[in-house]
Structure 1
Amino acid sequence: MVQASFYSVLFIVLCGYAESCIPHSITVDVPEEIPPGYVVCKVNLEQCGTEELLVATSDPDFKVQVDGTVTASRFTRVPLRGRTFMILVQDGTSLNRVVEVILTHKAGKVSNNGVLRRSKRRWSPLPFLIRENDKPPFPKDVEIVGSDSSVNYTVYYVISGPGVTEDPVDLFSINPKTGMVRVNRPVDREQYSQIIFQVRAYNEQNRFETDRPLYITVNVQDENDNAPEFTGPMDFSVLEQSNAGTQVGIINATDRDDPTTIHTKIRHKILNNQNIFSIDPRSGMLSTATTVLDREAQAVHFVPLEIRDMDGDPKGLFSTATATVTLLDINDNPPVFSSTSYKASIDENAADVMVLRLPVDDKDLVNTPNWRAQYFITKGNETGNFRIDTDPKTNEGLLRVVKPFDYEKTKNAKLEVTAQNEAKLEGTNAKWATVPVDLTVRDVDEGPEFRPQNLVISVKEDVPKGTSIGTYTAIDPDTDTSKGIRYYKQSDPALWTEIVEATGEIRTTGTLDREATFVKNGTYNVTVKAIDETKKSSTGTITLRIEDVNDNVPEVIKKDLILCETNQKLGTAIVEAQDRDGPPFSAPFTFQLGSADGKWQLTDIKNTSAVLVPAQDLPKGQYEVPLTIKDLQGQGKEQTVNVKICHCVKEACSSQDSSRVLGRLGFLALLLPLLLLALLALLLMFTCTTKKDKILMDDASGGMLLKSNTEGPGDEVSAGIVPSSVVDGSLKGSHVGKTNGTLQPTWTQSLGAGAGAGAGVGAGVGTGIYSNSGVLKEEMDQLDYAGQFNLHTWKTNGRFLDQKLTYFFTEDEDRYANDLLRTYGYEGQGSLAGSVGCCSEMGDDQGLGFLDSLGPKFRTLADVCTKK
């Protein structure tokens, strides 16, 4: 019963009350299991007329055809307590009718005859209707409900649910005896449009429920008690001068009444009749109705609107509001000058001066491109004396003179000025405005004026002192003469000129030098000041264009050159020259070698340079090469270029160029000073430990071992004597002479000279051995010729060692000067072999190629040391 009542309520909501042409309910016996397509029953619809009917069921397990036949749409089970659903019938008059179909079955009984069987009427009333906002008195009777069980029992009725025990509480009540449902107060449909409550029937005797519960649906009938309301924005905008029919915006409205009734059918209306705007009555679209909307005449329009329900019926409820339409600006108004013409005046010689303001009026929106003005001088400014700008605050035109006027040349200027906007004109046939401007130039007392302002004078640079090179005068513009004007020199950096005060004559006071630093690009400027009788002044410039003469010869730019040897290949040295004179007194130059003994030659001679290369194999060292360089006119002089031949590292001479790995000859050459020092030490020991009676020798060979006395028993000291050689003070050309296969000493200096010629260690040794002692002299007088010969041999050796040590303590390009004694911690500069010098790589068997270029002096010494 609960399920059947629920479906009944669902369909009754859509139905209105009308006399029935079909039964209110049908009871059909069906099997417990109903297959798809099973014909349940057929409702007779012929009594409802011949108009087209719409039929439907509330249960998706069943479907109804237009002729009223009800069939199962899918497999369905019917419980023992039965099953109920509704059939809704709607005709062409929109009247709704409902048939309640009650399915029952008995166990084991199957019926599929589809015969329509009527049963006794059960309590199943149509939905009740009440009016909203009903007038008193209350309570008011609504409808009677009754149960079929009242035939067999004395029953009473109880209601519950919404409208009774739930909100809205106590809206409805029921007479428990008669089943009359009553409404107790007015109800608002907008708050409660439909209320469904439950009715139960009980036996008065034992309070047993005699029937299944029934759900009662109460529909609240709408009353037009709500006026339509405006919703959404009411502010709109549209361009001025838009075409008629241009959409402005939609006016939205709503109504709280029943949307299925005419109570919510709204019509829109404009209350005034100005024919400026129009509105669609149903959609509410607001549009323009004219093409003459002018923002400058009226920028904002207020449109009064009315919305009325009941489809605009005069009895319908309505609301009013005002829509605001703002017109957007277009540039339909050009700027207009406040006056038809303008006049102004200005002093001559005045510059960067504002002479006039040109105000304009523009009706367009302020501070927009439609309003901001731009000014143009369309006539009269061919000489560029004027400029016109826009004042950003006032929008006025500011006329300025940027180039001064000369009254004597121009007394009046006539201009034509046009004003435009930043934006283009639209929506109008107007043109840009133009106004004439008449400018008068006022005469003022002017100072003198140099004509020309810059005087150019050509003069040779070797003109004598006091030479008149020209005249520079000024003119009074008012009198057009030079009367009463005095001239003074204002600027002369080199003090080369003077100007005669009364006449403006220019004379030289010094020798003009085109190559001086004061001269730029062959020109020299002198500034002259002219002062008239009224103390007014002006300045002018004299530009001396100094003509060149051939007073300079080519000079070598860099006289110290380096000739690099890289990978056993000798490079080239480039000799570059420059001549301070200009063409034709300078390049191209002529290069010639001086007295160079055929060692050098010039190649690849260009305008200002030549390549210097050795003409033969030259050893490393410093060379002076004489060159004669002449300019195009044949003037020049001989100059000396210093060329250094060396081994280079990164295009620079290596500071340790001689510290490379030594070959056999170099190794012997470096060991020679050490051997000499060792021999000197042996001589000292021999001198100190040998008695005078043992100095005499058996022969005078000079190359024998001497036997000396010993200071201790059994000790014997031997000393080797180095071969004597010719010493000339610089060790140049030293040699050992041979006579009959025996070494013979050659004497060139005395004992005293040999003792005092050394320095450093050598000097000390000479002094210690050959001191002027009386004892030694007395003993030397007793020596025979053989002893004197040996003593002289030692003196010669000492002299040789002194000079050799002195030589090794000097710097020279032709020897290995970098292997000098150094203080502790000296690491060398650029040495490839480190701080140890040449001795650090004695174990290396590599050849010493650098010894081949040490020069003839060292080669001679190497040859002496290697002779067998």
Structure 2
Amino acid sequence: CHIQLTLRLHSSSFSVLFTCTSSNLQMASAMIPRNRPSEGQRILSRAKRGWVWNQMFVLEEFSGPDPILVGRLHTDLDVGTKNIKYVLAGEGAGTIFAISERTGDIHAMKRLDREEKAEYTLTAQVIDRDTNQPLEPPSEFIIKVQDINDNPPQFIEGPYKGSVPEMSQVGTSVTRVTATDADDPVYGNSARLVYSILEGQPYFSIDQTTGKVALAGMDREMREEYLVVIQAKDMGGHMGGLSGTTTVTVTLTDINDNPPKFSKGSYEFTIAEDLGIGKPGGRVKANDRDIGENAKSTYSIIGGDERDVFEIVTDAQTQEGILRLKKPLDFESKKSYNLTVVATNIRADSITGGPYMDQATVKIIVEDADEPPVFTKFTYLFDVHENAATNTVIGAVAARDQDAPHSQVRYFIDRHTDLERQFNINVDDGKITLAKPLDRETDMWHNITVTAAEVRNHSQISRAIVAIKVLDINDNAPEFATEYEAFLCENGKPGQVIQTISAVDKDNPSQGHTFHYRLEMLNNPNFTIKNNLDNSISVLAKHDSFRRQKQETYLLPIVVTDNGEPPMSSTNTLTIRVCGCSRDGFVQSCNVEAFVLPIGLSMGALIAILACVILLLGRHLGKRMKNQTFELRHKNEPLIIKDDEDVRENIIRYDDEGGGEEDTEAFDIATLQNPDGINGYLPRKDIKPDLQFMPRQGQHSGPNGVDVDEFINVRLHEADNDPTAPPYDSIQIYGYEGRGSIAGSLSSLETASSDSDQNYDYLREWGPRFRRLGELYSVGESDKET
């Protein structure tokens, strides 16, 4: 049905349209534009909008054969002519909502869902059908989708879990559940929820409005976990409402409300007396209905263990009490024990006021076992004087079989601890004797191991350590602490200290060492000694007339005696050399050669002068030989004789010094090498060469692998191309002489000629003379080189 009512108020008119449906009466209202003013009024007053819209409503989820009428639009410009056309724009215009161009009726073309979109904003306008021009400005209006109860409650966060201590008070909160409803909470009761418990009563309850779950007092040991089913229903819980369910898993947490309990009141164990210390001898267990920390217990012995032989500890894995030995058992002294064991909870509970405990009796029967003999001591300490006679009794060890039969014991020395077999032991009584004399200065202590074995059971063996200290006797004479060598200045004064001497003694007397010194010659004319009162003496000179040319060295015997019983002494010799010293007393020379010649020149200086004369003579002779050598170099014969025998013969003849064992030095190939000149050029020290010549780098053989032929060829080639080389070639001194001499060559190796014997004659004549001259006067190495 359609009912139209027109109201007029202050020249404004309204049109109200009522639409009747099968379910309810829905109203949509539209304010119709005011009456059109006259032309005069239009000029004198400002123009106003033609209409004002109100909200329209449409029911969600409505479905039918025809589109549902939402409302009607009407304007006062519509006077029944056909020139008016209604136009609709905005959300859902033309798709969801359609308008009749002539009547202004708005219909919903599709099924609407408020939960998808709750309202639509549209724009209505009236235009001229002929000109298609707007007759009024556009106006907005809203179409709201009216809610129906089409969504059930849902538990988004479910299923739930909660926990609460057992034995909690009635009404203790467990958890809180929350359901949501997609329907409109401000329209009707579609979203008004009511909670209830479907399963879980009478242990649990729930607040209908808040969803808070509470419980009554329950025992975890009866049941640990509960499953509660909760329902949420809309429409305030009335009939016809929609509902949803969820589950809550409630776990009761444990509290210490149960004491430990032994499975039986008494236990009995049999333990062998040879059970090792710390080894388990039995297990007891107290069960606890609680779990976790509340079920853990500690065990203790509160009675029956007066000797403190046992202890009980808790096995962390099995929660058992393990009986262990703290001391060895002895069947012969005590055959059984009656212990009182207590199990106590570790953790106390604030609710029940624990902890709890339980006790049981444990009887232990000691079983006899065949044990090894037991020494009276674990370690024995004996002492014996060094050099004591063999078979001397040092001491005795003793061991006893503790078992009832008391088997006889025999004793042995572990020879791994006495490799030199210095000790023996009597197998029956355990007396230890010397097998060899001992020397304290070699070994002060001897540690041996003695074993004791039962006669009836050789496998029962025990061991003891025997430490033997070797006592000192005075069997070593004192001697100088070091090998002294003293120096006496010629210009010294009487009473000057020549040397301070101390002594050492290998013995070690308990009162310490005291040494006494004396000269073997009591009235020595040259020297005397002074006691320094610290086991040392000072040797003093008696006069100042010591001269090297008179006597260069003095030997002073000194007797050193210790304070042992009996005293031991030894004679030690001090070597005193007479030396020349500076005014300050510093030793300058202890050689007597400066006083052999009556003149002021030393032998070295004379040898140097003589060498210069010989060098001038050699240079003169060398010039003559150089010309011959130069001619021989240009001959076609090879520079080096390749025959091994010829090379060997040349080397022997070249270094011939007059027979004797020194001839064998000619066979020493290493003399052909100069170890100082292997790495390069060594300059001459006697002359300055005119040209700086750098020799060719070549391979140098080591002293263990010398190729004579190759060595001579290489050196000969270097000499031939060296403008600063001397004119002579000497194999004995070839690698040591260096370069730079302008003297002619005296060597026959370079020429390789057999008809130039005068070169050899020169060497045979002058070479040995030079060497013999140096050896005759025993000149120093520096003088020989000069």
TM range (shorter): 0.5 to 0.7
The answer to whether 1:214 aligns with 2:139 is yes
Q: Secondary structure at the match of 1:676?
A: helix
Aligned to 1:263: 190
TM-superposed deviation, 1:130: 1.6
**Conserved 8 A contact 1:560-1:643:** no
Q: CA deviation at 1:24?
A: 12
TM-superposed deviation, 1:632: 7.6
Contact 1:487 1:531 in 2 (8 A): no
Question: Hey, what's the Cα distance between the residues in 1 that align with 2:498 and 2:356?
Answer: 83
How far off its partner does 1:559 sit? 1.8
Q: Tell me the equivalent position of 1:138.
A: 66
1:523-554, Cα deviation, whole Å (9 max, x unpaired):
64451434324556434537365472433457
How far apart in 1 are the matches of 2:518 and 2:208? 115
Instruction: Specify the SS of the correspondent of 2:136.
Output: coil
Mean Cα displacement is larger for which, 491-500 or 341-350? 491-500
Alignment-mate amino acid for residue 548 of structure 1 = L
Structure 2 letter corresponding to 1:407: F
Long gaps (5+) in structure 2: 14-28, 488-496, 578-587, 590-598, 625-657, 663-768
Shift of 1:411: 0.9
Cα pair distance change 1:424/1:552, threshold 3 Å: farther
For 1:362 and 1:23, locate their aligned partners in 2 and report how far apart those are by CA, in whole Å.
Answer: 94
| 2:702 match | none
Distance 1:185 1:614, change over 3 A: farther
Deviation at 1:409, TM superposition (A): 1.5
Give 1:498's aligned residue: 424
SS at match of 2:247: strand
User: In the aligned structure 1, how far is the partner of 2:31 from the partner of 2:517?
Assistant: 137
CA distance in 2, matches of 1:324, 1:799: 120
- The aligned residue for residue 673 of structure 1 is 604
CA contact (8 A) 2:30 2:54 kept: no
Tell me what 2:148 maps to.
223
Tell me how far apart the structure 2 counterparts of residues 200 and 206 of structure 1 sit (CA, whole Å): 14
Question: What is residue 199 of structure 1 aligned with on the other side?
Answer: 124
Is 2:278 aligned against 1:358?
A: no
Distance 1:22 1:236 in 2: 66
Check 1:144–1:118 CA distance in 2 against 1; reply closer, same or farther (3 A cut). farther
Match of 1:414 among 327, 330, 338: 338
Instruction: Name which of 164, 167, 171 aligns with 2:93.
Output: 164
What's the CA shift string for 1:49-108, capped at 9, x where partnerless? xxxxxxxxxxxxxxxxxxxxxxxxxxxxxxxxxxxxxxxxxxxxxxx999999xx9x9xx
Q: Distance in 1 between matches of 2:348 and 2:500?
A: 74
**Distance (whole Å) between structure 2 residues aligned to residue 98 and residue 397 of structure 1:** 95
- Deviation of 1:230 (Å): 0.8
Correspondence 1:806 to 2:761: no
1:440-459 aligned at under 5 Å gives the runs 440-446=365-371, 448-452=373-377, 454-457=379-382, 459=384
| 1:583 partner letter | S
Query: Displacement, 1:604?
Result: 8.6
Residue 412 of structure 1 deviates from its aligned partner by 1.3
**2:224 paired residue among 291, 299, 306:** 299
Q: Among residues 541, 550, 561, which one is paired with 2:473 in the alignment?
A: 550
| Contact 2:57–2:146 (Cα < 8 Å) also in 1 | yes
CA distances 1:686-718 after superposition (whole Å, capped 9, x unpaired): 99x9xxxxxxxxxxxxxxxxxxxxx9xxxxxxx
Give yes or no for contact 1:144–1:181 (8 Å, CA) kept in 2: yes
Deviates more, 1:406-415 or 1:543-552: 543-552
Matched, 1:532 2:417: no
TM-aligned CA deviation for residue 342 of structure 1: 1.4
Letter in 2 for 1:125: W
In structure 2, C-alpha distance between the alignment counterparts of 1:425 and 1:402, rounded to whole Å: 34
Distance 1:557 1:413 in 2: 72
Query: For the Cα contact (< 8 Å) 1:499–1:507, is it kept in 2?
Result: yes
Match of 1:148 in 2: 76
Conservation of the 8 A alpha-carbon contact between 1:138 and 1:185 = no
User: C-alpha offsets along residues 560-603 of structure 1, whole Å, 9 cap, x if unaligned?
Assistant: 57999xxxxx999895746443524xx25447575796688776
- The sequence identity of aligned pairs, in percent, is 25
Question: What residue number does 2:361 align with?
Answer: 436
Q: Is the 8 A contact 2:153 2:243 kept in 1?
A: yes
Contact conserved, 1:552 with 1:581, CA < 8 A, in 2? no
CA contact (8 A) 1:341 1:436 kept: yes
Question: Contact between 1:575 and 1:612, CA under 8 Å: does it hold in 2?
Answer: no
Q: Is the 8 A contact 1:123 1:145 kept in 2?
A: no
TM-score under structure 1 length normalisation: 0.54
Given that 2:32 and 2:76 are in contact with CA atoms closer than 8 Å, whether structure 1 keeps it comes out as: no
Work out the CA distance in 2 between the residues paired with 1:22 and 1:468: 150
Compared CA separation, residues 506 and 232, structure 1 to 2 (3 A): same
User: What SS does structure 2 have at the residue aligned with 1:678?
Assistant: helix
The secondary structure found in structure 2 opposite 1:148 is coil
Distance apart, 1:394 and its partner CA: 3.7
Superposition deviation, residue 218 in structure 1: 0.8
Alpha-carbon distance in structure 1 between the residues aligned to 2:303 and 2:519: 76
Q: Equivalent residues in 2 for 1:229-248 (5 A)?
A: 229-241=154-166, 244=169, 248=174
Report the residue type matching 1:124 in the other structure.
V
Which position in structure 1 is the counterpart of 2:267?
342
3-state secondary structure, aligned to 2:77 = helix
Cα distance change, pair 263–421 in 1 and its aligned pair in 2 (3 A):
same
Alignment of 1:9-24 (within 5 A): none
Task: State the alpha-carbon separation in 2 of the partners of residues 100 and 558 from structure 1.
Answer: 142
Quote the Cα distance in structure 1 between the aligned partners of 2:47 and 2:448.
Answer: 137
User: Could you report, residue by residue, the CA deviation over 1:380-429 in whole angstroms, capped at 9, with x for unpaired residues?
Assistant: 56656546555555443443447542211221133344445676656442
2:179 partner SS? strand
Post-superposition Cα deviations, 1:203-244, rounded to whole Å, max 9, x if no partner, equal: 344444322223331111122221221122533343524855
**Alpha-carbon distance in 2 for matches of 1:684, 1:207:** 146
Task: Determine whether 1:396 maps to 2:396.
Answer: no
Q: Are residues 593 and 318 of structure 1, via their aligned partners in 2, closer, same or farther at CA, if it must alter by over 3 Å?
A: farther
Residues of 1 paired with 2:455 and 2:210: CA distance?
91
**Partner SS, residue 673 of structure 1:** helix
Match of 1:177 in 2: 102
Q: Is the contact between residue 31 and residue 52 of structure 2 (CA under 8 Å) also seen in structure 1?
A: no
Q: Is the 8 A contact 2:88 2:99 kept in 1?
A: yes
1:722-801 pair list within 5 angstroms? none
Instruction: Quote the Cα distance in structure 2 between the aligned partners of 1:643 and 1:309.
Output: 129
How does the TM-score come out when normalised to structure 2? 0.58
The CA deviation at 1:673 is 1.1
Q: Give the drift of 1:438.
A: 1.4
Q: Distance in 2 between matches of 1:100 and 1:603?
A: 146
SS of corresponding position for 2:66: coil
| 2:492 paired residue number | none
Change (3 A) 1:438 1:614: farther
- Whether the 8 Å CA contact 2:424–2:432 is kept in 1: the answer is yes
Q: Which amino acid aligns with 1:222?
A: D
Partner amino acid for 2:59?
R
Provide Cα deviations, 1:148-179, integer angstroms capped at 9, x if missing partner. Answer: 322496413232433332xxx2x333333222
Change in 2 beyond 3 A, CA 1:502/1:131: closer
> Aligned-pair distance for 1:501?
4.0
Cα distance in 2 for residues equivalent to 1:268 and 1:434? 52
* Pair 1:24–1:246, CA change in 2 (3 A): farther
**Cα distance in structure 2, aligned partners of 1:303 and 1:235:** 9
What residue is the counterpart of 2:247 in the other structure? 322
For residues 188 and 543 of structure 1, the distance between their equivalents in structure 2, rounded to whole angstroms, comes to 106
> What is the CA distance between 1:437 and its match in structure 2?
2.0
Are 2:560 and 1:628 equivalent residues in the alignment?
yes
Cα 1:534/1:323, change in 2 over 3 Å = closer
